[in-house]
Amino acid sequence: MTFDLSPIDRAKFVAARRSCNFVENGMRIGLGSGSTAAWMVRCLGERVRTEGLDIIGVPTSSRTADLARQLGIRVASLDEVKWLDITIDGADEFDENLNLIKGGGGASLQEKIVATASDRMVVIADVAKEVKALGAFPLPLETVPFGWQTTKALVEETLVNMDVLGREATLRMNDDVPFVTDEGNYILDLHLKRIGNPRQLSLVLNQIPGIVENGLFIDICDAVVIGHGDGTVEVRDFNAGTVTEEQIDILESDNIFADGDD
């Protein structure tokens, strides 16, 4: 018997569960942020509880850190572990070259630092996150609060010369105040609609004073695990050039995950 999950949550869950097969005893693991990554953290927590899996998790947000501790996963900072065996994280969009947009949850800066300090990055996503061209999802720019309106104007001016369809930049809000990241910064969301040259755009944006980092992940992701609502997963390993499919069964014993509210 399976427990009741919506098709989208089922897709996220099976992708998260399959990604945990990459994790071995003794690994140092970057723990991503967001709804799909939260399923992965829960799956790892279950392995810690039932198998005695010995791992160290380096969270990419305070929310992920809290969840990992609740589930019995040992947590450390990146400065403590220095380097990671693998990072497993979600994505807001990914294309056929495994370029990503991340940062919908406001943690892309820490996510990028952790991912690039890893031997391997595996992305977990539902099938709806795959796109032909990045840009439908707003591109986050983590921005220092000082002079953010000037930074916004410089960004919009710079976008005139970029291969994008939209140039609107908006300050991300938390109710009636600016959203503040774990690093104390603001986020500008760029509504670009389509990004013709992600690599060029990433390089140019990071040259603008006030921009800390952008949410484009270029040449960072090594594999993607794509979940479907029927419980199947597709694993694309970019480095190995392989694509595999399998069915992930969701059993009544998996009810430990049914209370997730991410």
Would you please indicate which residues are annotated as catalytic (active-site) residues?
111
CA distances from residue 132 to 11, 135, 197 in whole angstroms, order as listed: 20, 10, 12
Residue 92 annotated as part of some ligand binding site: yes
Cα end-to-end distance, the chain, whole Å: 24
Instruction: Say if residues 190 and 155 touch (Cβ distance below 8 Å).
Output: yes
Question: Strand 168-171 and strand 186-191: pairing?
Answer: antiparallel
Q: Does the annotation place 102 within a ligand binding site?
A: yes
Residue 132 marked in a binding site: no
Does the annotation list 36 as a binding residue?
Answer: yes
CB burial of residue 12 (10 Å; 0-12, 13-18, 19+): buried
Instruction: Quote the Cα angle for 213-37-62, to 5°.
Output: 60
170 is an annotated ligand-binding site residue: no
62 a known binding residue? no
90 is in an annotated binding site: yes
Question: Is residue 185 helix, strand or coil?
Answer: coil
Cα(16)–Cα(168) distance, rounded to whole angstroms?
34
Consult the annotation and say whether 35 binds a ligand: yes
CB 57 within 8 A of CB 77: no
Structural tokens at position 259: 């209370």
β-pair partners for 177: 174
Neighbours of 262 (CB within 10 A): 17
Q: Judge whether 91 is annotated as a binding position.
A: yes
Q: Is 82 annotated as a binding residue?
A: no
- Is 30 annotated as belonging to a binding site? no
Binding-site residues, please? 33-36, 89-92, 102-105, 129
Binding-site residues for substrate, please? 33-36, 89-92, 102-105, 129
